[in-house]
Amino acid sequence: MNVLHLFSKFASKYFAVIVIFISMIAFVSPTTFTWIAPHITLLLGIIMFGMGLTLKLSDFGVVLKKPVPVVIGVIAQFVIMPLVAFGIAIALNLPPELAAGLVLVGACPGGTASNVMVYLAKGDVPVSVAMTSISTLLAPILTPFILFILADQWLPVDAGAMFVSIVKVIIIPIALGIILRRLLPNFVDKSVTVLPLISIVAILAIVSAVVGGNKENIATTGLLLFAAVMLHNSVGLALGYITAKLVGLDEAKRRAISIEVGMQNSGLGASLATVHFSPLAALPSALFSVWHNISGPLLVTFWGWIDSKRTKVDMDTKTPSL
């Protein structure tokens, strides 16, 4: 277990590098990974089950104690990202499947990796966890609804079927994880340290399957789509922070909401696109998974630099002159 824990920490620390490396391999040798595609939904269910194992009722308590930051963050999550995706798809004139796929990832709830990024950024972790949890629980209703409103012009959206898919792949696995934690808390606490590794392997498998299955599409539209994904994520991070600042939240909550808004559950996007649209529509989610695991650490590093400069200024101000 100690070896697995150490490997899990290593994989979490260097996940951005690993996901880029695996994506490159999948592009060069697609047949090595395309067999995974039929199992994407199962893999996402495993990730969500692991999320359920880490959740406690106290994680939802912050919503009752301090609802304003969480409510503002969740609203921003489901308003900013879908509308930004829609605007980018129109502005760049993306092909219908890619446009719908970009809106789909924008309409997804926050990703679990965001909680780690918020912690590293010295953000408000309880707000981050509550936002991830609440947005995930709202996803069966809001994700199909938003997609139907914004993306039905490109591809037919069966909101009812998508609702059922999200309940199966997210709500049920999370509920099972919460129940198991309640029944076997000691066992879960001993095993929870390796959950990041399981999630990382599952995400890598999903990304590699989508990249491998879209080698030709990446070769023809890769640069345009990657630019769209980078812009989508960057604008989401910026507008999340600005929204929190405009409503008067403190710096820790601004950072939490920024990261929560900008980092999506791209695994869910890839799964829904594969099942309800096409492998091509899953490509924006796969590229988003690669990019937001690069932009997240970069933003953490930037904020760390800002904090160190503020600390230095404060020390210089307090130091008495001789």
The domains of the chain are located at 2-303
pLDDT of amino acid 255: 92
Cα gap 103→97, rounded to integer Å:
10
pLDDT digits (tens, 9 = 90+) for 85-102: 999 999 999 999 999 999
Share of the chain above pLDDT 70, in %: 90
Which one-letter DSSP state was computed for residue 320?
P
> How many whole angstroms separate alpha carbon 209 and alpha carbon 26?
7
Q: Is the pLDDT of residue 322 over 50?
A: no
CA dist 152 and 57 (Å) reads 37
Asked if 92 and 275 count as a contact pair (C-beta separation under 8 A), the reply is no
41 vs 70: which has the higher pLDDT: 70
Q: Which residues of 276-290 are buried (b: 16+ CB within 10 A; e: fewer)?
A: bbbbbbbbbbbbbbb
Give the pTM: 0.84
Say whether pLDDT at 291 is over 70: yes
Lowest model confidence (mean pLDDT) among 4-13, 48-57, 136-145, 188-197? 4-13
Q: In Å, how far are 102, 131, 221, 224, 280 from 97, measured between CA atoms?
A: 9, 29, 12, 14, 6
* Helix (H) or strand (E) segment spanning residue 254: helix 251-262
Least confident stretch, 33-42, 73-82, 146-155, 313-322: 313-322
At 7-32, the pLDDT tens digits run: 666 666 667 777 788 888 888 888 88
Asked if 292 and 264 count as a contact pair (C-beta separation under 8 A), the reply is yes
| CATH architecture designation of domain 2-303 | Up-down Bundle (1.20)
CA 234 to chain centre: 13
For residue 35, pLDDT beyond 80: yes
- Residue 301: pLDDT band (50, 70, 90) is confident
Rounded Cα distance between 4 and 89, Å, is 42
Q: Give residue 5's pLDDT.
A: 63
Which pair of structure tokens corresponds to residue 294? Answer: 């690069």
**How large a percentage of the chain has pLDDT more than 90?**
28
